Amino acid sequence: MNKKRILVSAYACNPTSSLQLHPGEDITGWRLVGQIRRFHDVQVITHSYNREGVEKALSEGAYPDVRFHFLDLGRVLGLLYKVEFGQRIYYYLWQIAAWRLARRLHRTACFDLAHHLTFGNDWLGSWIGAFLPVPYIHGPVGGGQRTPQPLLAEYTAYGRFAERVRQTAQWVGRRDWVRRRCLRRAKAVLVCNEETRSKIPSAGRGKTFFFPVNGISTGDLELIDRAAQAAAPGPRGSFRVLTAGRLHRLKGFALGVKAFGRLAARRPDAEMKIVGKGEEEEAIRAAARDAGVEDKVELIDWLPRTELLKAMASADVVLFPSFRDGGGAVVVEAMAAGKPVVVVDSGGPGSHIDPAWGIKVAPATPEVTASRLAEALDRLASDPGLRDRLGRAARRRVEDFYLYDREGERMMAIYRYAWGEGEAPKA
């Protein structure tokens, strides 16, 4: 196959994901750029916050043939990042700046295709996609998922207000002319869950393809296998629950602690570790105190990704009670570690899990959801054989579907379709 010239817009693109602003998207952007470069010549426009991590990786020999262009909006507009709602305004303005840079690059590079990788957000369009005169791929994107209505009770008044603002912004964003033009021009739109597919205008749904926003590398699998061999067994009769992610309200960690409290009442040897950092830390600690399990719940600051994968290898089960994640990198990583995962059936985590390799519970009121999560954990604690069967099936699923090499091959099939050189991959 002749190599072609690809321009990638990847606001988040960083191999040191756990230390950056957008952990899941950072690693997705970085890994998928690595897949594109297997087949084509690549230039990447990314935000300047990625510079340190990217340049360190480049100095160590990663992606020697990829050219990165770092772009930010300056210190004054950077103040928008200190306000939750301001982050999306900043991102929209950054897209305009990225398009202006892309026009300059295109004059000399003559790109054969442009691809918007990250942010994976369906309701904010890409100016590059809307206006750069080359074939265009959009995604993978999420954003169609919402916090299930009964679980809004888990949020503070501010949190509920923020969710309403988000929904209003989505309503406006999906009617933005740039977003509509971007989707109309796209040769393919990659979506990571069914809720997002439903938000694509009906005229364009025929060119949507399901594409996971998360994956795992063969190197990660080797690391996980070494960690599993070195993992120390827990005390006899113990049951170790792990969860990880940014400590944000949408992750549902306080509800997960409530569920764990119910489990611990039945199983005094159960313990829980929460790996992450964020504004919800005190709410999570308060939930542990209220449940009487503050001595059984350990909060751990961000771990390097290698250390997180080792921690997963030492756990018995991974709990990820997120309310509206588009993807859920932790879920795929836990599956790769051969662990059964318990999730709330909403958004990306629900799409990752099948009863053959995990347990997903239907969202309801916080009390009912906590009870269902506790019952799922108790079921797994009671049956080591079930944990083993689900874990082995989860690992097979990762090897069959979530390996980045397989994702890269699927993406190239979509590229060929965009160029009119092949049939549409199965949607």
Extract the tokens encoding 78.
Answer: 């950077």
Cα distances (Å, whole numbers) of residue 105 to 67, 191, 313: 11, 28, 44
pLDDT at 215: 87
Q: What is the torsion angle, in degrees rounded to the nearest 10, for the CA atoms of residue 212, residue 213, residue 214 and residue 218? A: 70
**Nearest Cα to 9, choosing from 55, 47, 53, 37?**
47
The amino acid occupying position 418 is A
> What is the total residue count of the chain?
427
State the DSSP string of 320-334: E--SS-SS-HHHHHH
Extract the tokens encoding 384.
Answer: 């080591």
Q: 141-169 burial, b for 16+ CB within 10 Å, e for fewer?
A: bbbbbbbbeebeebbeeebeebbeebeee
Extract the tokens encoding 122.
Answer: 């369906």
Would you give per-residue pLDDT tens digits along the chain (427 residues)?
Answer: 689 999 999 999 998 865 556 767 888 899 999 999 999 999 999 999 999 999 999 999 999 999 999 999 998 988 888 777 788 889 999 999 999 999 999 999 999 999 999 988 899 889 999 999 999 999 999 888 889 999 999 999 999 998 998 899 899 999 999 999 999 999 999 998 888 999 999 888 889 999 988 888 888 898 888 887 776 666 666 899 999 988 999 899 999 999 999 999 999 999 999 999 888 999 999 999 999 999 999 999 888 877 888 888 889 999 999 998 877 889 999 999 999 999 999 887 888 899 999 999 999 999 999 999 999 999 999 999 999 999 999 999 999 899 999 999 999 999 999 999 988 777 5
Q: In whole angstroms, give the CA distance from residue 391 to residue 357.
A: 6
**Nearest Cα to 377, choosing from 332, 349, 342?**
342
**Nearest Cα to 254, choosing from 376, 366, 378?**
366
State the DSSP string of 352-366: H--TTTEEEE---SH
Q: What's the pTM?
A: 0.86
CB atoms inside a 10 Å sphere around CB 426? 8
Extract the tokens encoding 277.
Answer: 């950092």
pLDDT at 74: 92
pLDDT at 346: 87
Provide the 8-state DSSP code for 93. Answer: H
pLDDT at 364: 95
Q: 204-218 burial, b for 16+ CB within 10 Å, e for fewer?
A: eeebbbbbbbbbbbe
In this structure, the strands spanning 341-344 and 297-300 are unpaired
CB atoms inside a 10 Å sphere around CB 332? 26
Q: In whole angstroms, give the CA distance from residue 305 to residue 16.
A: 8
Extract the tokens encoding 44.
Answer: 């990447």
**Nearest Cα to 7, choosing from 92, 91, 108, 143?**
108
Extract the tokens encoding 154.
Answer: 């888990």
Give 55-64's long-range contacts (Cβ < 8 A, gap of 24+): 56/16, 57/15, 57/30, 62/15, 62/34, 63/33, 63/34, 63/37
